[in-house]
Structure 1
Amino acid sequence: MNKVIASAREAVADIGDGASLAVGGFGLCGIPAVLLEALHQSGVSDLSVVSNNCGTDGHGLGVLLSDGRISRVTASYVGENKEFARQYLGGELEVELIPQGTLSERLRAGGCGIPAFYTPAGVGSQVADGGLPWKYTADGGVEVASPRKEQRAFRGRTYVLEESVTTDFALVRAVRGDRYGNLVFQRSARNFNPLAAMAGKVAVAEVEELVDGALHPDEVHLPGVFVQRVVPLTAGQAADKSIEKATVR
């Protein structure tokens, strides 16, 4: 099955207002920048996003956020994004902050068809007991707070029940892919990309290199069964990568 789509704009054309998205990347490393830009140009709004963080001011998901296109974020890190913090504290954005390992497992579990799992992360805190502010009012009150989660003891240790995550769409970036949707990720850009793709009902991958034929099975980081659309990037798009914090010597 040939899953190659000619353009990013065509690949995201059916993502409508109110859709939920799982988005790969960590900070600006491995983000699907071309797909996000195409989504921004489409004018879609009221998005619910699941991602490690929400990009930075002016980059990645931060572009959609600054235009008020995102209504809810599930993440583990506010990141280097002052606008994210401003919208959250100002009551404009609903934010579910969860432990990073729990986020990754919720995405993976969703992709594997596992409805929920127990983890020790968060036991003894508001993550398990509830009361974390998800959304503030404009005057600083709490409009929506996290619920208390089920807890259970196994072999003398307490665990909290976490529900898996699935989304309408997933947007990810890979260094190589084939027309069947098999993907290879570049070093640390592997981060949340495979997990996000697994959780999306329709996963769209932008690839820096579309290989001729099929990837060798031993190379594949994510099998094509999890990917529905592949968008090959131009050389310029593949090379255009932002650095969150440049370190020089």
Structure 2
Amino acid sequence: MIDKIAASIPEALAGVRDGATVLIGGFGTSGIPGELIDGLIEHGARDLTVVNNNAGNGDTGLAALLKTGRVRKIICSFPRQVDSFVFDELYRSAKIELELVPQGNLAERIRAAGAGIGAFFCPTGYGTELAKGKETREINGRQYVLEHPIHADVALIKAEAGDRWGNLTYRMAARNFGPVMATAAKLTIASVFEIKELGQLDPEAIVTPGIFVGKIVKIPRVATQGAGFKKAA
């Protein structure tokens, strides 16, 4: 019997190893798998490469992970925001490596990994520092830059509901990077607010099929506060 439900966050994260490349869902503060990030901090894996839309907010969630010093490199689109002081301090003191990727390219590089695409040409970044050292080509009179997929060992995403096969549905903007990240990792771990019986999820509403998901774990539905996460009592 297929049953991908983990009894706890530590159990779900047991397969994460030192040196892993970890995709972390979320856009700004929407759809961030905060409970899984907290679990990763407790897990203790180090020398990580993290891929996310930004470099953390405040001192919770992804910023808290960066603060542990266990992230070697971050690949993101928006490393600096008004409350990205944790990343700023690490970067200015040369304690973390940054690969800056335009947001559209970031999504497409992740999608390409899941789709089995070896590389693709994109006009974004041509003629800038972001294209330095990369192959370029003129196609139909326009200049393009060769971009490569971002493959990952683990993806941490947040969904609205799932079943024991790992099928997932999302809530509005919390969907963001989750679906493409799920396809690009060897192991996808999803936190969900509800676990449904098989057949209760409308097949037409399933965004991420269970074939892309390794583990799901139920988390309590609690109010978020700012960029952080209020844990259940």
**TM-score normalised over the length of structure 2:** 0.92
Pick one of 89, 104, 113 that aligns with 1:101.
104
Give runs of aligned pairs for residues 27-176 of structure 1, distance below 5 A: 27-78=28-79, 79=81, 80-128=83-131, 130=132, 148-176=133-161
RMSD over aligned Cα atoms: 1.4
1:231 aligns with 2:217: yes
Q: Which runs of 4+ in 1 moved over 6 A?
A: none
Report deviation, 1:217: 1.4
Question: Which secondary structure state, in structure 2, belongs to the residue aligned with residue 5 of structure 1?
Answer: coil
For the 8 Å contact 1:54–1:60, the answer to whether it is kept is: no
Report deviation, 1:110: 0.5
For the 8 Å contact 2:107–2:180, the answer to whether it is kept is: yes
For residues 240 and 197 of structure 1, the distance between their equivalents in structure 2, rounded to whole angstroms, comes to 25
For residues 39 and 109 of structure 1, the distance between their equivalents in structure 2, rounded to whole angstroms, comes to 26
For the 8 Å contact 1:28–1:242, the answer to whether it is kept is: no
For the 8 Å contact 1:6–1:231, the answer to whether it is kept is: yes
Letter in structure 1 aligned against 2:59: G
Question: Which secondary structure state, in structure 2, belongs to the residue aligned with residue 17 of structure 1?
Answer: coil
| Residues 167-222 of structure 1: per-residue CA shift (max 9 Å, x gap) | 11110000111111111111111111112211111000000111122322100111
Question: Which secondary structure state, in structure 1, belongs to the residue aligned with residue 224 of structure 2?
Answer: coil
Aligned residue in 2 for 1:221: 207
For the 8 Å contact 2:58–2:227, the answer to whether it is kept is: no
Letter in structure 2 aligned against 1:117: F
For residues 221 and 189 of structure 1, the distance between their equivalents in structure 2, rounded to whole angstroms, comes to 12
For the 8 Å contact 2:47–2:72, the answer to whether it is kept is: yes
Aligned residue in 1 for 2:225: 242
Aligned length: 224
For residues 126 and 173 of structure 1, the distance between their equivalents in structure 2, rounded to whole angstroms, comes to 33
Letter in structure 1 aligned against 2:126: V
For the 8 Å contact 1:25–1:31, the answer to whether it is kept is: yes
Report deviation, 1:57: 2.5
For residues 210 and 137 of structure 2, the distance between their equivalents in structure 1, rounded to whole angstroms, comes to 37
Which consecutive unaligned segments of at least 5 residues does structure 1 have?
A: 131-147
Report deviation, 1:8: 0.6
Question: Which secondary structure state, in structure 1, belongs to the residue aligned with residue 154 of structure 2?
Answer: strand
Report deviation, 1:244: 3.7
Aligned residue in 1 for 2:194: 209
Deviates more, 1:75-84 or 1:157-166: 75-84
Letter in structure 1 aligned against 2:8: S
1:8 aligns with 2:27: no
**TM-score normalised over the length of structure 1:** 0.86
Letter in structure 2 aligned against 1:198: T
